[in-house]
A and B are shown apart, each in its own frame.
Chain A
Amino acid sequence: MATDARKETAAASAKSNGNGQQKHYKVIGTRPIRHDGADKVTGRAIYGNDVQMAGLLYGKVLRSPHAQAIIKHIDTSAAEKLPGVHAVVTAADLPDLKDKWADLGEGRVNLAHLGANVLAHGKVYYKGHAVAAVAAVNAHVAEEAVKLIQVEYEPLPSVTWVLDAMKPDAPILHPEVYTEDLVGQRISEKPSNASKYLLFEAGDIEKGFASADVVIEREFKTASVHQGYIEPQVSTALWNQDGHLTIWTVTQGSFTARQQTAELLQIPVSQVTVVPCEIGGGFGGKIPVYLEPVAALLSRKCGRPVKMSMTRAEVFEGTGPTPGSFVRVKLGAKKDGRIVAGHAWLAYDAGAFPGGMIGPGCMCVFSCYDIPNYRVEGYDVVLNKPKTAAYRAPGATQAAFAAEQVVDELAEQLKIDPIELRLKNAVKEGAKRVGWPDYPKIGLIETLEATRNHPHYKAPLTGNNRGRGVAAGFWFNIGLKSSASASVNPDGTVTLIEGSTDIGGTRTSVAMQLAETLGIAAEDVHPHVADTDSVGYTDVTGGSRVTFATGLAAYHCGLDIRQQMAERAATLWECKPEDVTFEDGVFKAKDKSISFKELAGKLGELGAPVIGRASVDPQGPTNGFGTNIVDVEVDPDTGKVTILRYTAIQDAGKAIHPAYVEGQMQGGSVQGIGWALNEEYFFDDQNRMRNASFLDYRMPTALDLPMIDTLIVEVPNPAHPYGVRGVGETPIVCPPAAIANAIYRATGVRMRELPMSPPKVWAAMRK
């Protein structure tokens, strides 16, 4: 069977760009209807808030009205006396987590910080920070009870802009936090809000810039934006009388939710079962736990199941936005367009606790270009906003907004077409990059060529105040651990159990890979996302990894099933298993042959049931590159930017379900459009967020947009048998930069601050 895997990998590796020769697949590349489709269009799918059970209580959280304050005293007695209230908890109910650390799959995490974010411990760090929680007979009583909790605060000065937080006289959030370098050495003498300083260098940038014919240096700012999933966080916990804790929740990773909860409560992971419900969007924001441990503590106190859900305002004020940022980029190029030196200086806010997105920001800022001399410096900075969470290619969009505009200016000054300039400098196999080993086979050049040749890029654009912009973008796409098992049913179908929570159709994209491997129809695989007791360890649905890594697990599950089925066929035909071959869903030996389905029907007479299993830990990144072409029109009287035409182009490696790949490209583009043109956290003079609703934090609606055209480029990933690269995150990277470049072409004004909202564009046009 190993031979098969190698053969398939080799076949999938054959170069193709969407038009060229491809391996002929039966299932991969088709567009079957998703397995959970009927449930989701009829309202039957059970999301987190749809969980009901006997004796269910409802929990609510009391949140800080201050951006920063000492908690001097909490009096919960009045709340406890309210009829209908069953339990009240504060940080005092959490175990002491001082000096405790845990590896949560993405590096070591300070558990005291994680715990203090879930329930404030002595100090609140942002408006909306959770302070206490109540469980009551219904949500209304819980809300009333929360208001009866008396908290005595001592308000402190606060800070919400990253450069302000780095000033020597800035209010220090955490006296125990000093600036550390990449390897954890303390490099500041005093406590600092800058928790991390990263430095990546290659070559000699002084010499590089000295040899350049053109040098451009610019500064950029971006505001905090939210992931904006439509389903607020919701969790139901039952701490049973036998000590076992079950949590029904909406999470991107059942196993990380289990581990975070267990670590915070200081109980073994085996004492916790996480049941993942259908999840209403995440985009990175549903990886950290917020309500799970709190609902658990409430349930332990009252012995009943407790459901907690956030309001929309709580989602904005209490869950991770993406970092606000300041980025300075300097690029030097020769007359022929070759970039010879680059210097980037990035400061990203991490929100209230250390550990934001500065690492990937640094590693992505120049990731599209082969620059011989570079220096990239980055700061992770704490300040008085909610703790940041991942948001689709976390850290990359801010970096691209800066770098891709400087590249655009270089192209303009050198009078080179912006795509040609990018092609001249594009990374390819063997190129060095910041913070990772050299690139393997990648598809940036093919993607740029597809952009240059796209009808949109060639189409004339006429009319006043109109302009076209382009940008390129990159996201790593990770591997990590996935497990799957599958059992063969007597009717020839296969039931697939996986651990990746399905946010956008991955049940189907994973099932299709198993179907392809077994030579059966996509509809003949029945995928199920299981709880943490029913499937092997599986990392988060994030990093664009599920179709790649869980798909790989499904593929290996398929190989395992094929091996066992070949043995059963050998029993049937009284021959040696190694004489049985498998092709296109049919087992053969000499003159005998039997289809997968027929053989499945005979398994009852041929020995033990056939169950395939696989667990994988593929090493990423798989490297996703994309470009955007956008035409805009700017209203000179209002500064409003209208998107006239939008095209997203991306290397998917291999599109398993092309409609879902398009969907990721379209959805990511539109999130990027919102980030570019409208979305931001507004803070008042007390650093309190003032637009915590969908009315005031205005995300794009259907009426704001045209159709989003897509072109899928396919340069297969050699590290996956079907060539999959992962596609979810790259689409959000380009839009702000591409739109800024288009606004410049339309108006002659360079927008270096996000969002490029009407008042800002209007003001910039009047300068």
Chain B
Amino acid sequence: MTKKAHISTTINGEPVEFLCENRQSLLEVLRDVLQLTGSKEGCNNGNCGACTVLLDGEPVNSCLVLGVEAEGANITTIEGIAEESRLHPIQQCFLENAALQCGICTPGFIVAAKALLDRNPNPSEHEIRFELAGNLCRCTGYDKIVRAVQAAAKNLQEVAR
């Protein structure tokens, strides 16, 4: 076996160094090496979005990124979404709108919704559905998720005003 790679990166605003095998995905590194288990594995081939993280601000399926590709990157995971003592408005709106049932897809949806609202603060229902189509939820039928993102967009705009 080849030696592990030494990677320097930034995760949730903190400088992080880790060792990983070349074959390990970023998801595997986050979960098994760094104990950041909030990013979930639903398919490990990029189809379900449960492992969504922000890589330099862009939402990516971390199961499709290699750990070694994190070198020099700026990564945000679900663990980095909340503020110090309170939830992010997207998280709060997911709770208030009952937008989760089992909760396994929730971290991926929240990170993907953050990417959407960072780029487009006032999305239409269609834009929300389009942007979140890469995240599968089997419990909710998406209705309450879409409404939670709409509510979060409204809250964030009011805060910004």
Please give the residue numbers on chain A whose beta carbons come within 8 Å of chain B beta carbons, in ascending order. 31, 33-34, 36-38, 40-47, 49-50, 52, 140, 227-232, 278-283, 309, 311-312, 503-505, 657, 659-660, 662-663, 666-671, 693-695, 699-703, 705, 707-708
Contacts and interface: CB of A to CB of B under 8 A. Distances in A.
14 contacts: A43-B78, A49-B37, A231-B42, A232-B42, A503-B101, A659-B97, A662-B98, A662-B144, A671-B138, A693-B43, A694-B42, A701-B129, A702-B135, A703-B130
A695 B45 contact: yes
A42 B102 contact: no
A502 B101 CA distance: 9
B39 interface: yes
B91 interface: yes
B18 interface: no
A50 B129 contact: no
B140 interface: yes
A49 B96 CA distance: 27
Contacts of A694: 42-43, 45, 47-48, 136
Interface in B102-149: 102-107, 110, 125, 128-130, 132-147
B141 A43 contact: no
A230 B110 contact: no
Given A43-B39, A230-B136, 20 more contacts: A33-B96, A40-B103, A41-B106, A41-B110, A42-B87, A42-B91, A43-B36, A50-B37, A230-B50, A280-B40, A309-B41, A312-B45, A505-B98, A662-B144, A663-B139, A666-B141, A670-B141, A694-B43, A695-B45, A708-B143
Contacts of B133: 701-703
Given A231-B40, A281-B104, A312-B42, A670 B142 contact: yes
Contacts of B95: 33-34, 37-38, 41
Contact of A663 (B23, B41, B42, B101): B101
A542 to B, nearest CB: 14
B62 interface: no
A239 to B, nearest CB: 23
B44 interface: yes
B150 to A, nearest CB: 11
B60 interface: no
B21 interface: yes
Best-surrounded residue of B21, B37, B98, B106 (most CB of chain A within 10 A): B98
A42 B81 contact: yes
Contacts of A671: 138, 141
Q: How large is the interface on B (under 10, 10 to 19, 20 to 34, 35 or more residues)?
A: 35 or more
Contact of B145 (A34, A231, A281, A702): A702
Given A33-B95, A702-B128, A702-B145, A41 B104 contact: no
Nearest to B39: A43
Contacts of A44: 38, 79
A671 B138 CA distance: 7
A311 B45 CA distance: 10
A280 B39 CA distance: 13
Given A281-B138, A694-B48, A699-B136, A47 B104 contact: yes
Interface string B73-87: 000011101100001
Contacts of B128: 702
Most B CB contacts (10 A, CB to CB) among A36, A40, A230, A671 go to: A230
Nearest to B46: A695
Interface in B22-52: 23, 31, 35-45, 47-48, 50
Contacts of B153: none
Contacts of A701: 129, 132-136, 142
Contacts of A37: 95, 100
Nearest to A701: B133
B104 A663 contact: no
Given A42-B81, A43-B78, A669 B102 contact: no
A229 B81 contact: no
